[in-house]
């Protein structure tokens, strides 16, 4: 009986112990003699008790199920059917066998996972060294244009304007709306303007700012677009043509392709 003790501690639970007992008898789960199995199982429990070892609750529950099955076997057939709560023909023997079969399947699957686990320990991924291409890797380039930066400037100016007297900054003759008119006028004459030339004639700092704010406003109103055709190229200002119908044929003829 001493061998039981050693073995007992290794069992995962009552189902594991039952499978061990069945395997020991070298019989198929479906052909197992449940009465005999119950006797053996209860013997193990008794051994555990004698050895004063702690018995997990699950084992005791299983022991009572097995004792029930065993006692039921002793009853004549006609009385077995009458057992309360089993009117649907649920047979506790069958239920136990089903549970054992299912458990065994997963125990086998666990063994296969264990094989995979061991195999995986021996598989090493290729870890190439860092690529050393003869060109220098592209430096991280922010996806922003000068216009993003200018917009940021505008945001700051606006905030500053809120907390200070805006007149201090825009003290000159130009107002933003005047500058808008002026820009639209220029764009009527020419399809596109260089960003830098817009500021070339500015006579004062504030005129630059006003021009700049006018541009941003027109962009916001979708009257013009600012494009930077090349990464480091000059920014161009183009008028957004409202519709083809609004244009005279002459203008269409000499107008360059629009960005929209």
Name which of residues 97 to 116 contact other proteins (CB under 8 A). Answer: 98-99, 101-114, 116
Q: Which long-range contacts (CB under 8 A, 24 or more apart) does 17-20 make?
A: 17/41, 17/44, 17/59, 18/62, 18/100, 19/100, 19/103, 19/104, 19/107
Q: For the CB of residue 8, give the shortest distance to other proteins in the complex, in Å.
A: 14
Name which of residues 142 to 171 contact other proteins (CB under 8 A). Answer: 142-146, 148-153, 155-157, 159-160, 163-165, 168-169
Q: For the CB of residue 80, give the shortest distance to other proteins in the complex, in Å.
A: 20
How far apart are alpha carbons 148 and 151 in whole angstroms?
A: 5
Does residue 176 belong to the site contacting other proteins (CB under 8 A)? no
Site stretch for other proteins (CB under 8 A), options 33-41, 42-50, 130-138, 218-226: 130-138
How far apart are alpha carbons 211 and 202 in whole angstroms?
A: 9
Name which of residues 15 to 54 contact other proteins (CB under 8 A). Answer: 15-16, 28-30
Tell me, residue by residue from 66 to 85, as one string, x for binding to other proteins by CB under 8 A and - for no binding: --------------------
Does residue 140 belong to the site contacting other proteins (CB under 8 A)? yes
Tell me, residue by residue from 232 to 251, as one string, x for binding to other proteins by CB under 8 A and - for no binding: xxx-----------------
Residue 245 DSSP symbol? G
Cα–chain center distance at 240: 41
Question: Under 8 Å CB-to-CB from 35, ≥6 apart: which residues?
Answer: 69, 70, 73
Q: For the CB of residue 74, give the shortest distance to other proteins in the complex, in Å.
A: 25
Name which of residues 1 to 20 contact other proteins (CB under 8 A). Answer: 12-16
Maximum CA pair distance of the chain? 117
Residue 259 DSSP symbol? -
């Amino acid at each position: 009986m001493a061998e039981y003790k050693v073995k007992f501690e290794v069992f995962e639970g009552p189902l594991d112990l039952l499978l061990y007992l069945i395997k020991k008898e070298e019989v198929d789960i479906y052909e197992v003699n449940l009465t005999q199995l119950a006797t053996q199982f209860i013997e193990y429990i008794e051994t555990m008790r004698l050895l004063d070892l702690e018995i997990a609750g699950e084992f005791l529950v299983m022991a009572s199920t097995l004792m029930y099955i065993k006692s039921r076997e002793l009853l004549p057939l006609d009385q077995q059917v009458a057992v309360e709560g089993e009117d649907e023909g649920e047979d506790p023997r069958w239920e136990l066998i089903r549970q054992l079969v299912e458990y065994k399947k997963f125990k086998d699957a666990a063994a296969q996972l264990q094989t995979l686990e061991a195999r995986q320990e021996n598989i090493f991924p290729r870890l190439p060294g860092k690529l050393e291409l003869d060109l220098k890797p592209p430096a991280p380039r922010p996806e922003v244009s000068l216009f993003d930066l200018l917009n940021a400037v505008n945001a700051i100016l606006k905030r500053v304007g809120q907390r200070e007297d805006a007149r201090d900054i825009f003290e000159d003759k130009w107002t933003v709306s005047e500058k808008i008119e002026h820009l639209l006028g220029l764009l009527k004459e020419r399809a596109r303007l260089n960003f830098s030339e817009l500021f070339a004639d500015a006579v004062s700092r504030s005129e630059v700012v006003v021009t700049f704010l006018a541009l941003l406003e027109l962009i916001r109103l979708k009257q013009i677009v600012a494009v930077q055709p090349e990464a480091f190229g000059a920014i161009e200002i183009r008028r957004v043509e409202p519709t083809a119908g609004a244009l005279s044929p002459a203008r269409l003829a000499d107008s360059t392709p629009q960005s929209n």
